[in-house]
Chain A
């Protein structure tokens, strides 16, 4: 008889050997080597500009949604469909766009891979403002590499230089107005982290960056000139949101942790608010007694972002509801240039058949805990929204679309005060 724990050990070591196989480098050398004549010329443009004629050898961006190339193996995401989504943020007082890649395959749970960095928006001095996927991404994706990566830019960026390739940025209905993107494929199981600004950190990197290839990204204008990096502060914020937590609040849903930093679970002597504080926006519910709000934030003023060069949304309230054990986040989105004006569409969201006033953006599932895995019981990250006046009322999470629609129909915006605006201050 062979000891089953010894058999298991051998299986694990073999699996670890397979997982440690180096990625093929020859084909993807363009990510590593310094500039040299571009091997693959898809488009050659001669543009006569103010600075003289410049020849740009452009590679085409990969699409924002498609299929991951490569040999299909159990330990990679090759063969999965992928969709890059740029999403508004529901945390009250938060301005800007988050982004993620949703990997999907029939008969399996979708996997969402969050983009790196905080939600931001493009400005004149911050032309590359988001994208990429780094070592802090979700456990499932990281174990299998990040086969697709991308950068998000402002409208002034015509192309980006990544490694030795120059890739033209594209616009899309899946992107906010004024936002452009460039998408590239990464070798199977590769771990590539795009670093906006053209400078790779030279300091000793933390352990989680081990075996990660850091690749600088340089933004180019329409004449092929590098848009030089300019010192810029952190995105501007308005007054800090005021948190509240219901006395019986209990949650283990990890996305909330990022919103509630510094707010512990209720314990004896909890000094915080147990009900929503006064704010510019308020939510009310009706007709769904099982729906229970447990956490949330309000803001005393709506932060404005006059320096944004793209459309940018701001949330004026957020709350986490629970319905039959499922967490759902709700928020109200306004325009951060002029909060009273009609908002553009939620990028990539589509109307729901039978509910013409409601749109849905599928974003896959997230684990209950960051260290956990995604299973059939995991809540969704997808969001569903409907227009209420000049705002979007948004519900995210839950077990599925039907539940989000149910909650959306049970919520209403009971207060929307557009008179308290904050031009924001840089938070460093």
Chain B
């Protein structure tokens, strides 16, 4: 978006307030994404917290050639959900390494988290053009490579990258508006 600083710049600038802006931009998308699979608000919140902590810890590893930051974030969230399902608990390694405290949640806060997560990601996805929706789901959720998607759709990798990037941007705008 014109006039806005790029996500990648906010992520990697090393300025703490920039990371706060980065969080503001994407926390809804991450919460909706995790909320699509996770029903318990405390678990959901833990996953969102660990996702951003991991993004902060690994921010230098973000590679813009592999896709937009939000795809990277959702990829982290997806891996965390898989790992957590395997282990039966949400990982907290990044938060511990960063010295972050665990946020204790009361009933009201749990209710608020549940409300915040009650965004129908599927509805938001459904509002995308079909070609964008397919590209976003295959890249972000199924973690297919750009090359594989492009080969399957018989178009260039560049076209797939644009579809993913624009689809995610629209998704984010849609979620922010709710």
Contacts and interface: CB of A to CB of B under 8 A. Distances in A.
Interface in B1-39: 12, 14-17, 19-20, 23-24, 27, 31
B130 interface: no
A270 B145 CA distance: 16
A15 interface: yes
A237 to B, nearest CB: 25
A15 B98 contact: yes
B91 interface: yes
Interface in A19-42: 19-20
Given A19-B56, A75-B99, A369-B79, A264 B147 contact: yes
B40 interface: no
B86 A12 contact: no
Interface of A: 1-5, 7-9, 11-20, 73-75, 135, 139-140, 142-144, 207-208, 210-211, 264-265, 267, 369-373, 375-377
Contacts of B61: 139, 142, 370-371
Interface of B: 12, 14-17, 19-20, 23-24, 27, 31, 45, 48-49, 52-54, 56-61, 72, 75-76, 79, 83, 86-87, 91, 93-94, 96-101, 103, 105-106, 108-109, 112-113, 116, 145, 147-148, 151-152
B99 A73 contact: yes
B45 A12 contact: no
B42 to A, nearest CB: 10
Question: Could you tell me the dominant secondary structure of chain B's interface residues?
Answer: helix
B94 A11 contact: no
A271 to B, nearest CB: 13
Nearest to B107: A1
A267 B20 contact: no
Contacts of A370: 61
Nearest to A378: B83
Given A267-B151, A369-B79, A375-B83, 7 more contacts: A5-B48, A11-B103, A20-B14, A20-B16, A143-B58, A207-B12, A371-B61
6 contacts: A9-B20, A15-B100, A74-B96, A143-B60, A371-B79, A375-B93
A208 B105 contact: no
B93 A12 contact: no
B45 A376 contact: no
A19 B98 contact: yes
B27 A5 contact: yes
Given A1-B106, A8-B103, A267-B148, A75 B97 contact: yes
B91 A144 contact: no
Q: Which of B16, B17, B72 has the most CB of A within 10 A?
A: B16
Contact of A144 (B87, B97, B109): B97
B19 A12 contact: yes
A18 B17 contact: no
Contact of B98 (A5, A74, A373): A74
Contacts of A1: 106, 108-109, 112
Nearest to B79: A372
Contacts of A17: 16
B97 A12 contact: no
Contacts of B49: 8, 11
A373 B109 contact: no
